[in-house]
């Protein structure tokens, strides 16, 4: 596609799926798929930053992932901790700011500490914002928002008649962040997996059968090119 015709989404959300299946297909233990997936995350983050994407949200660890074997979970938590340390150089070099969405509960303190250090270190960066969804589940996020709204109403801090979609969005983990324009899902699965259910209401969806460890810049551009060709009507009629 002619680069002059390419429309870069302001916000791309990604469901990074298929690490374990990639490893199994390669005859390797599942943890090697997660390691390879972390390298892919680094490359795609850099690519998005250079392309001019303003926000990138990666689904790193869902609230449902705690059902996995303890050994795999322990590896994922350690991998996350190392990622927070090792990717600081990449983030600073590319002027990337880090934010985290999801619940802090169940995340060990050593990993939380490294997350907080990286958030603080990159806070003044003015380039792309990288949002990592860690221990995240959209239903829990929505329930939490409702609870906070109810509490504010009961405390007489919020008039009931002021509650609308915009206000509700401000009670979510993603408050202040524009909704994703494009959702990319790898591994060919056709579901949202409890990911950004409110925020993805009008996102364009692009799915590839490629497992996340093999996802690359060419596929990223293919997704963006597909997005560029779509007419986003947001419920209205197309203008001819």
CATH of the domain at 52: 3.40.1180.10
The pLDDT value recorded for residue 240 is 46
The answer as to whether 158 is a domain residue is: no
| Percent of the chain predicted with pLDDT > 70 | 95
Quick check: 8 pLDDT over 50? yes
Contact (Cβ atoms closer than 8 angstroms) between residue 227 and residue 181 = yes
Range of the domain at 43: 3-137+180-229
Instruction: With a cut of 80, say whether residue 144 has pLDDT above it.
Output: yes
CB atoms within 10 A of CB 74: 12
Q: How many domains does the chain have?
A: 1
Whole-model pTM: value is: 0.95
pLDDT at 73: 94
Average pLDDT over the chain, rounded to whole?
95
- Containing 199, the helix (H) or strand (E) segment is none
Crossing angle of the two packed helices 70-86 and 30-51, in degrees rounded to 10: 30
pLDDT the model gives residue 231: 85
Residue 68 has pLDDT above 60, yes or no: yes
Residue 239 within a domain:
no
58 within domain boundaries: yes
133 is a domain residue: yes
Positions marked active-site = 17, 65
Per-residue pLDDT of 157-170, as tens digits, reads 999 999 999 999 99
| CA gap 228, 155 in Å, rounded | 46
pLDDT higher than threshold 60 for residue 202: yes
* Alpha carbons 16 and 174: distance in angstroms, whole number: 19
In a domain? residue 208: yes
Tell me the mean pLDDT in the region 13-33.
97
pLDDT at site 3: 63
Mean pLDDT of 181-193: 98
Pairing between β-strand 97-101 and β-strand 129-136 as defined by DSSP bridges = parallel
CB 92 within 8 A of CB 125: yes
Asked whether residue 196 is assigned to any structural domain, the reply reads: yes
> What H or E segment, with its residue span, contains residue 227?
helix 217-229
The yes-or-no verdict on residue 180 having pLDDT over 70 is yes
Residue 163 lies in a domain: no
pLDDT of the residue at 2: 61
Average pLDDT over residues 214-229: 97
> For residue 12, is it within any domain?
yes
Whether the per-residue pLDDT at 232 is higher than 90: the answer is no
């Amino acid at each position: 596609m002619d680069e002059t015709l390419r429309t870069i989404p302001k916000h791309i959300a990604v469901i990074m799926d298929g690490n374990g299946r990639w490893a199994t297909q390669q005859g390797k233990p599942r943890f090697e798929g997660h390691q390879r997936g972390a390298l892919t995350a680094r490359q795609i983050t850099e690519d998005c930053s250079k392309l001019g994407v303003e926000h990138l949200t990666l689904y790193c660890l869902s609230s449902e992932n705690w059902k996995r074997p303890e050994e795999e979970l322990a590896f994922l938590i350690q991998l996350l901790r190392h990622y927070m340390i090792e990717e600081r150089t990449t983030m600073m070099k590319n002027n990337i700011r880090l934010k985290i969405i999801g619940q802090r509960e169940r995340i060990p303190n050593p990993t939380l500490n490294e997350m907080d250090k990286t958030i603080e270190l990159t806070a003044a960066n003015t380039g792309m914002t990288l949002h990592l969804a860690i221990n995240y589940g959209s239903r829990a996020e929505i329930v939490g928002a409702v609870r906070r709204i109810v509490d504010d109403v009961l405390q007489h801090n919020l008039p009931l008649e002021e509650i609308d979609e915009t206000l509700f969005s401000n009670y979510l983990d993603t408050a202040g962040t524009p909704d994703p324009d494009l959702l990319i899902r790898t591994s060919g699965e056709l579901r949202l997996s409890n990911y950004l259910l409110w925020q993805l209401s009008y996102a364009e969806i692009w799915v590839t059968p490629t497992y996340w460890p093999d996802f690359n810049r060419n596929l990223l551009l293919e997704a963006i090119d597909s997005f560029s060709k779509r007419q986003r009507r947001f419920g209205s009629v197309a203008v001819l």
